[in-house]
Structure 1
Amino acid sequence: MTTKTTHPQHRRRSRPKLDTYLTIGEAADMLGVTQRYFREQVNTGRVPAYRIGPRTTRVKLSDVEAMLEPVEAALAI
């Protein structure tokens, strides 16, 4: 019985991890805001967006998370 060994050149190379992208609707749902409000944030440049084709826009999850700002305890009431 022979065991199969992998030649070093044939090993799988690890691929760089891609960012997670969301649709406008997914991002709006995640933040609990309307799609219209979120699109305004994209249109004003507050959130970078990426076009994939003529009708498809995506935003990075990390950019959506960056929109969240901590609120001081006194202001949260």
Structure 2
Amino acid sequence: MTRTASAACCLTTSEKRPPMPARRAVRREQPELLTINEAAALLRVHPRTVRRFIEDGRLPGYQLGGRVVRVRRDDLTKLLTRIPTAG
């Protein structure tokens, strides 16, 4: 029996397969990971500054494989502190 023949015997014409979940919906649930350069561009600093933040422990970095480092966008916003204003 071939693969298509066995699949055809299991499904009737009245049965429909459920729709596949959209890829975008799955990606939204995961934290957005940025490269060092992307994080530096968002903060408008040099990439070396972002690497220094990671080395100092001020910004968590995540290593993927050998030299690939990523930063979560949420961690970037936590890094920013508001300056209190008078008044």
TM-score bracket, shorter-length normalisation: 0.7 to 0.9
Provide the residue aligned with 1:55 in structure 2. Answer: 67
* TM-score, length-scaled by structure 2: 0.67
Q: How much is the aligned-residue C-alpha RMSD, in angstroms?
A: 2.4
Structure 2 unmatched ranges of 5 or more: 1-12
Task: Kindly indicate whether structure 1 or structure 2 has the higher relative contact order, using CA contacts under 8 Å at least 6 residues apart.
Answer: 1
Paired residue type of 1:20 = E
Provide the residue aligned with 1:27 in structure 2. Answer: 39
Paired residue type of 1:36 = R
Identity %: 31
| Aligned residue pair count | 70
Provide the residue aligned with 1:45 in structure 2. Answer: 57
> Quick check: which one's helix share is greater?
2
Q: SS of the counterpart of 1:72?
A: coil
Question: Displaced runs of 4+ in structure 1, greater than 4 A?
Answer: 10-16
Paired residue type of 1:61 = R
Structure with larger Rg: 2
Paired residue type of 2:85 = A
